[in-house]
Amino acid sequence: MKIRIGSRGSALALWQAEHVKSRLTGLGHDVSITTITTTGDRVQDRRLDSIGGKGAFLKEIEEAMLAGEIDLAVHSLKDVPTALPEGLRLCAFLERADPRDALVSASGRPLAELPSGARLGTTSLRRQAQLRARRPDLVLTDLRGNVDTRLRRLREGAFDAILLAMAGVTRLGRASEVTEVLPADVMLPAPGQGAIALECRVSDSDVAKVAGELNHPATERCVAAERAFLAGLGGGCNVPLGAYAEEEGAALRLRGLVARADGSVRVDADRRGTDAEALGRALAEELLAKGAADLMRG
């Protein structure tokens, strides 16, 4: 079967697209990749919430799919909103890579040993809120751009340390540059972090069937809980929140948090259950009852 993949042009996005292409080719399919520049790629000098949120990295790709120009999109799941355009669906989730955040410091010092006043680069409100709660003495500065750009700016001296997703650093073969991988109880990941999602047209059952051959059920179950939590909160990139689900026997353990951007207040909770989506909704309801709604209103 011929399948046209649409992808952003960053090194990480193309790695992910090539990975999917390789696996589908190995299954006997004829696969090509079309590179598409998105709003999120073009606009680098403004915060994501001012240009459409994380969906800014998907808009043009999804439009191309709805227009019949491509058949399959490959996304970092953490960039995918819970509400998709009408006519599109997520049809597979690849096995998740390390979902944690990674600190890269110019001095080789871990987070706890960075000196007071050290400049740390990250644009993520989720990361900023958790950092401010743990290390209020650090100077946090916005840092956008792809993995290569962020690492280059660190090496050029613009920052003393930066935070990145461990999965992306590993996929690009740069894990040796990581100073410290932060455990989830120090830095709770974003919902879906480390997972690759495939998106296709609802009407394209043939493509969905082919993509389904790459699906990893355990990953699908975990990210379903995280995304149900996100949907239950109605949150996005303009709200500091995190969620992480992992299997514990037949059950799932789901941790979630919502914080004030300055790190002064946070509400979090931890639940277990066997129904992924019900678990995510229940955790969202618990946090809303504990005050998350007020934090999300600012």
The pLDDT tens digits of the residues spanning 65-75 come to 999 999 999 99
Q: What is the mean pLDDT of residues 72-84?
A: 95
Checking if the pLDDT of 244 tops 80, the result is yes
Checking if the pLDDT of 44 tops 60, the result is no
Q: Quickly tell me which residue has 């500065």 as its tokens.
A: 141
Q: What is the mean pLDDT of residues 88-107?
A: 98
Q: What is the mean pLDDT of residues 283-294?
A: 94
| 183 compared with 37, residue with greater pLDDT | 183
Q: What is the pLDDT of residue 222?
A: 98
Amino acid code (one letter) for 104 = V
Domain residue ranges of the chain, discontinuous segments joined by +: 2-94+196-215, 101-182, 227-296
Q: What is the DSSP letter of 80?
A: S
For 78, what's the count of Cα atoms within 13 Å in the CB-facing half-sphere?
24
Q: What is the Cα–Cα distance from 133 to 116, expressed in whole angstroms?
A: 14
pLDDT band at 298 (very low <50, low <70, confident <90, very high): low
Check if the beta carbon of residue 91 is closer than 8 Å to that of residue 208.
yes
Q: What is the Cα–Cα distance from 188 to 210, expressed in whole angstroms?
A: 33
Q: What is the mean pLDDT of residues 275-279?
A: 98
Checking if the pLDDT of 45 tops 50, the result is no
Checking if the pLDDT of 215 tops 90, the result is yes
Q: What is the mean pLDDT of residues 118-126?
A: 95
Same fold, 2-94+196-215 and 101-182: yes
Catalytically active residues are 79
Average pLDDT in the chain: 93
| 90 compared with 47, residue with greater pLDDT | 90
Report the CATH architecture of 2-94+196-215.
3-Layer(aba) Sandwich (3.40)
Q: What is the pLDDT of residue 115?
A: 98
Q: What is the mean pLDDT of residues 76-91?
A: 95
pLDDT band at 261 (very low <50, low <70, confident <90, very high): confident
Checking if the pLDDT of 51 tops 70, the result is no
Percent of the chain with pLDDT strictly greater than 90:
86
Q: What is the pLDDT of residue 38?
A: 78
Distances (CA, A) of 253 to 37, 256, 269, 273, 291: 37, 10, 11, 7, 22
Checking if the pLDDT of 187 tops 50, the result is yes
pLDDT band at 20 (very low <50, low <70, confident <90, very high): very high
Contacts (Cβ under 8 Å, ≥6 apart) of 225: 243, 245, 252, 254, 276, 277, 279, 280
Q: What is the pLDDT of residue 251?
A: 97
Check if the beta carbon of residue 193 is closer than 8 Å to that of residue 226.
no
Compute φ and ψ for 228, nearest 5 degrees. Answer: -65, -35
Judge: domain 227-296, CATH 3.30.160.40: yes
Q: What is the pLDDT of residue 50?
A: 43
Percent of the chain with pLDDT strictly greater than 70:
93
Q: What is the pLDDT of residue 295?
A: 86
Checking if the pLDDT of 90 tops 80, the result is yes
pLDDT band at 42 (very low <50, low <70, confident <90, very high): low
Sign of CA dihedral 239, 231, 224, 264: positive
What CATH superfamily classification does 101-182 receive? Periplasmic binding protein-like II (3.40.190.10)
Q: What is the pLDDT of residue 146?
A: 87
- The DSSP annotation for 155-191 comes to HTTS-SEEEEEHHHHHHTT-GGG-SEEEPTTTSPPPT
